[in-house]
Amino acid sequence: MKVLEEVPDSTVVTPEQFALDPKAAVRDADGLIVRSAVQADAALIEAAGNMRVIGRAGVGVDNIDVETATRRGIVVMNAPGASAVSVAELTLGLMLAMARHIPRADVTTRGGQWDKKNLQGTELAGKTLGIVGLGRIGTESAQRARAFGMNLIGSDPYLSPSRAKELGIELVSLDELYAQADYISLHLALSHQTANMINAEAIARMKPGVRLVNCARGELVDEAAVEAALRSGHIAAAALDVFREEPPVNSGLLSAPNLVATPHLGASTREGQEAVGIQIARQVRDYLLDGIAQNAVNLPSLSDVEYQQIKPYMALAAKLGRFAAQLFASNLEEIEVRFQGEVGGWKTQLIRSAAVAAILRFRAPPVRWNAAVRWCTAPCRASPASTASRSNPIWTAPSSSFPTSMSPVSSATSEPCWDGAASTLPASRSAARTIRRWPSCRWMRWSLPRYLQSCAAPPR
């Protein structure tokens, strides 16, 4: 709280005050910071009339209605790296617990048994650790495993070979990792691609006697498949800090042999909790004061340097959007934004959103739309197509196949170096039409720079 209290003219609502009446507490708030116990659901978000940002002190945002927040133009951000050391240390602790049967040794010794013969373990030294997901937590775990003399292999499509070499990790495919690893540790975010990735089929490809660690997300694992593999012995042991349902109720997995279970303790250290709280407070402060969105889950995250780099292009995109909105009598149904040169390799989502937001502000019906259109909500507000039957968002990924003749302001060129994106805009009139080609006329090319100079400042 000290980070936020140091901001001049700021008012901070304490957790105790929030608990008395959550909706009243957020009614005039600009930002909200929550941990896992607070449910930032649609009702709470709708009650926050001035809310601009919601920060999650942790990684998972399951307790935040991200869809409602995005529709309201509220940025949602988390703090994924602050507790990396805490989670990595727990990962190694669980590996040691499995290797040396520490939980069972504790129980039997307290029960009056001295069962050394049946508690013979194995060393970590010389074993192969396969790390799936080499972000901050994965790399911290790798550094600690190296100190135990383990061989390191990893699978991560986003890690470059040069960076893997610096870390002393051999990059392999997921199938190769399954086949070679004595220990497998998961450090992945949950997505449609990673949900249930440790299933019966994946387990069948693993080395017999493998040991599995999951300190990431419970939904990564098919618990029934892991239970069956533990009972058959194909998985020698598993250590799970996370579960699909927390706390797990009537789970057969908890009765499986050689399972080490902990109640989601990954970030639960004094140092980890303090680091997470400080990081998310700083991120929320920076967004409210400077508009810098770090670790945003519904908006492209930018560093301060990246933000300053693209800021002029966002201003230009907004001016072009306002200009385009005034060119046609009928409502715009679709626009296409393209980039040429170095900017095409940057994080251009915010530039596109600035253009769409400017058009929506100018052309949208005067019913709550204009005031609520912000950069993070522009794709969401542009998503409903003009036909009532379409309700899914239409916000296409960048494509390089657009013809260069569609550039409204460039001189004739044949360089096919465009990064384009299309967005469907809501039709406020029945006579909507698709604008797929900008008019190429001398007036536009000669008058555009002068017009842009006269435009207002970029959107806030």
Within this chain, do residues 115 and 196 fall inside the same structural domain, yes or no?
yes
Catalytic residue, candidates 67, 246, 271, 274: 246
Q: Do 103 and 239 meet the contact criterion of CB atoms below 8 Å apart?
A: no
Within this chain, do residues 244 and 284 fall inside the same structural domain, yes or no?
no
Helix (H) or strand (E) holding 420: strand 418-424
* Sign of the C-alpha dihedral computed for residues 16, 17, 18 and 19 taken in this order: positive
Residue 412 domain flag: no
Residue 408 domain flag: no
Within this chain, do residues 448 and 379 fall inside the same structural domain, yes or no?
yes
Residue 219 domain flag: yes
Within this chain, do residues 156 and 217 fall inside the same structural domain, yes or no?
yes
Nearest 5°: phi and psi at 379? -60, -35
- Looking only at the bridges linking them, the beta strands covering 334-340 and 418-424 are antiparallel
Mind listing the pLDDT tens digit for each residue in 5-39? 888 888 899 889 999 999 999 999 999 999 988 99
Catalytic residue, candidates 56, 72, 211, 217: 217
Q: Do 283 and 55 meet the contact criterion of CB atoms below 8 Å apart?
A: yes
264 is a catalytic site residue: yes
Mind listing the pLDDT tens digit for each residue in 80-138? 888 999 999 999 999 999 999 999 999 999 999 999 999 999 999 999 999 999 999 99
CA–CA dist 180, 173 (Å, integer): 11
Catalytic residue, candidates 264, 282, 334, 433: 264
For residue 398, give the amino acid letter: P
Within this chain, do residues 96 and 241 fall inside the same structural domain, yes or no?
yes
Helix (H) or strand (E) holding 140: helix 136-147
Mind listing the pLDDT tens digit for each residue in 229-253? 999 999 999 999 999 999 998 889 9
Q: Provide the β-strand partners of residue 132.
A: 155, 186
| pTM for the full predicted model | 0.68
CA–CA dist 230, 232 (Å, integer): 5
Within this chain, do residues 147 and 136 fall inside the same structural domain, yes or no?
yes
Residue 410 domain flag: no
For residue 307, give the amino acid letter: Y
Tally of domains within the chain: 3
Helix (H) or strand (E) holding 32: strand 31-34
Residue 202 domain flag: yes
Residue 236 domain flag: yes
Residue 118 domain flag: yes
For residue 320, give the amino acid letter: L
Residue length, the chain? 460
Domain residue limits at 340: 304-384+394-400+418-454
Question: Which residue ranges in the chain fall short of pLDDT 70?
Answer: 301-305, 329-332, 362-460
Angle at 390 between CA 384 and CA 391, to 5 degrees: 55
CA–CA dist 288, 278 (Å, integer): 16
Residues 6+ apart with CB under 8 A from 366: none
Nearest 5°: phi and psi at 131? -105, 120
Q: Which residue has the tokens 């307290």?
A: 110
Within this chain, do residues 66 and 199 fall inside the same structural domain, yes or no?
no
Amino acid 261: pLDDT:
97
Within this chain, do residues 138 and 52 fall inside the same structural domain, yes or no?
no
187 is a catalytic site residue: no
Within this chain, do residues 312 and 440 fall inside the same structural domain, yes or no?
yes
Amino acid 206: pLDDT:
98
Within this chain, do residues 256 and 276 fall inside the same structural domain, yes or no?
no
Mind listing the pLDDT tens digit for each residue in 429-441? 333 333 333 333 3
Nearest 5°: phi and psi at 315? -60, -45
Q: Which CATH number belongs to the domain containing residue 25 in this structure?
A: 3.40.50.720
Within this chain, do residues 123 and 49 fall inside the same structural domain, yes or no?
no
